[in-house]
Each structure stands twice: as structure tokens, then as C-alpha cells.
Structure 1
């Protein structure tokens, strides 16, 4: 199952929607996760229909910030388990295969919200009995070598992320 996960940083710009369409044509994913859409579901439904995905789920933005969209193709079975402004947690199977739990994440940019965010993810992990995969933009840089310029990374936030990976028994997979 191919997945495209993209921080759209707003889908109101025609160049962004063209870039999305080009990516979808190129990669032909079964599942698409868009974070920071900054758009309500009515607008996103028009995009989904134009791009020929059969299913969808949305978390509307708060004012002009955030917004999540999840689209899936024919043959994909999706059950929404939990959602928040920062994630969509699902159970998904493809053509009747064994279901996997997947959590699509857009981490809070505000430091004040990060602690509760990690607590929520730890709770999801504790309640998970099936195979679990997270697809993420956690808004945290884990190591200074992953960052160019600007302020140094926040070591407390990096520790939260790295502790979560360790405690949850997860490994990072390469992305394209």
C-alpha cells in the first residue's frame, strides 16, 4: 500500500493544488494524508473527487491553522478509531488482508500543546493490539544534524520524541 503524506501548508494556492495533483499522478498512492490543509471539508471534498479517491475523513482547521485530510482508494477498508486536531488514528486493510493500525500525525507547533500530544500517542500505543505504523510530521527535530541554520533544536522536545520511539518499541523507516 503506497501512501503520500504531505504537509500542504495550505491548499488555497493553485500552485499547491497542481503540485498535489502531479504528486498523486506520479506516485499513484492508495492512501493520502494531508496536514496543515487550512481548508474545510467542503473544499477538500472537491479535491478528493477530482483526484478520484473513494473514501475520506477530515479534521477541520482551527481558524486559519491546522486541518487534516485522509483519502483512500477503492479496495481500502478504513475504520476511524480516534481523531484530534493533531492526528487521525485508523485501522486499515487492503483487499481483505490483515488490518494494521496507522496513526497519521501532524504534531502541534506550540510547545504548550506538545506534552499532551505525546501523552495521547502513548495512550494509543498502550491500547494497540495490532501492527502499528505512524506516518508523521511531529514538528520536532530530533538531532541537530537534521537542521540547517536558525536556532538550535529544543533538546527537551527532541527527548520527548526519542523517548516515545524507544518506549513504543518503534523503528524509523526510510521515506521517499
Structure 2
């Protein structure tokens, strides 16, 4: 079981739609959350239909900016608790069983909105007694190690976020596959990379899903990487057994290779 969250920076680009489809095929998510698509509901419904989701909820963009989309499969039941242009707060159940409160976020990019945004989210926890997970683009760099290049991080912004996590009893789920989730797509001295996308979980959520991990997928057609929350952990790939193909006997080099191998030192394992 998995959840995909991606700041896709628009879905009008064919490369972006292709990258989304590839991600959905690979991870087969129960839920997909997209932010900053810059497209209306009618357009997004056509894409949803081609990717076999049964349920959906949208927050339309303001003009040509923003926009949120939430898609889910028939195995998932989602109740929308509250929504805005910056989040969709939900209660999620899978196969009839309560799973958790899941808040899908696109954190405000403007300083004037950041502190109030995290204060509002903090109140959500006070209204809920179920396990809580937050996933998406939080738009804050939490510490200096989460940034490479450019000016030092804004400590006030980071503290607002850290205070929210502390009061709400949340921890960050590590994400495998890279240190940063956003880049300005520039090179050399102008390059900046930051960890803006996160998965935050409550302690009871962590106990309920002890194998859960976050995975970072390569960024394609966006300056953000998709992040994937895999609830049941990564499955180890089985080593393929060697199988001799009878058609190899038709090739002369097969006999040469076998003869050389038999003629070698039996104790040589190289």
C-alpha cells in the first residue's frame, strides 16, 4: 500500500503527464495527491480516468496558480474534514477499517502566511484522536542541513514549523533516495537544492505502521521530486536463478567457454 504526493508544477506538459503515469504504474498507490497543477477539475478528471482511480476531490487554482487534486482507488474511503487552497484534511479508511487522519499540504510560499498556516494545522490535532499523517510540500527548510547553496535558511520560518511539530507530537519519517526534494534547476554556483517535501507522522501512527518508509523518486518535468509513502515497506527483490538455455548449444563459443572453464583451476572461484 502506498501514497504518492507530488508538487507537479502543472499538468499541461506532456512530459509531466508521462512522468505521473510512470510513477503511478510503478507504485500503484491507493491515494495520489497533486499540488500546483494549474489546471481545473474538468481537465484533471480526464487524467484521473486514464489512471483507474474511482474517487476524487479538488481545490481549483486561483487564476493560473495553485490547485490541489486528491485521487483514490475503490479500496479506499475518504471523508473530507476541511479544505483550503493550501491543504486537504481527510479521514482515511481502507477496506472499511479506520486508518488515520491524513492531511495533504501545499505550504504557503509567502512569509506573511506561514506562521498562521502552521498554527491552523496545529488545531487540527486537538480536534482528532486518531493517528495522524501529514504529507506534501511544506515549503519550509527546517534546518541548514536541508539546504545546499544559496543564502542561509530563515530561522524564524524553521522555528514556526518545529514548534508546530513539537506541540502536535509529530516526527518526520525519513525519506530514502536523496537529501533534497526541490532544486532551482541551475548549475554550479547558482544551484540551490532544498528539502521542502516531507512526511510527518504521530507516534501512534508510527506504531501502527512500523515498516512504513518514504521514497524519493527522480524529478522529471518538475522542480520537485515525487515522494512516496510505502506503508508496508519495500519488498526485497529475489535473486534470479541461473537457467541454461538449450539454444546456446547452437553457438560455437558456448563449447569454447565450457572447455576453458573445465580446463581452469577448480579452486579458482574468480
TM superposition score category, shorter chain reference: over 0.9
Q: Is the 8 A contact 2:119 2:164 kept in 1?
A: no
**2:45 is equivalent to residue 34 of structure 1:** no
For the pair 1:45 / 2:45, whether they are aligned, the reply is yes
Deviant stretches of 4+, over 2 Å: none
Cα root mean square deviation, aligned: 0.9
Question: TM-score by structure 2 length?
Answer: 0.64
Residue deviations 1:38-68, cap 9 Å, x none? 1111111001001110000000111121110
Which structure carries more relative contact order (alpha carbon 8 Å, separation 6+)? 2
CA contact (8 A) 2:5 2:32 kept: yes
SS at 2:18 equivalent: helix
Shift of 1:136: 2.4
Corresponding residue pairs, total: 176
- Tell me the alpha carbon deviations over residues 112-145 of structure 1, each in whole angstroms, 9 at most, x when there is no partner: 1112211210111111111111112110001111
Question: Could you tell me the TM-score, scaled by structure 1's length?
Answer: 0.97
Which runs of no fewer than 5 residues in structure 2 stay unpaired? 175-213, 216-270
Query: What is the alpha-carbon distance in structure 2 between the residues aligned to residue 138 and residue 169 of structure 1?
Result: 17
1: CA distance, partners of 2:160 / 2:26: 35
Q: Secondary structure at the match of 1:16?
A: helix
Instruction: Compare CA radii of gyration and give the structure with the larger one.
Output: 2
2-side partners of 1:143 and 1:128: how far apart?
28
SS at match of 1:88: strand
Deviations 1:56-108 (A, max 9, x none): 00001111211100000011011000000100000010001224110000000
Matched, 1:74 2:53: no
1:118 aligns with 2:99: no
Q: Deviations over 1:128-173 (max 9, x none)?
A: 1111111121100011111111121110000011111111001111
Q: Aligned partners of 2:52, 2:79: CA distance in 1, in Å?
A: 20
Gaps spanning 5+ residues in structure 1: where? none
Secondary structure at 1:162 match in 2:
helix
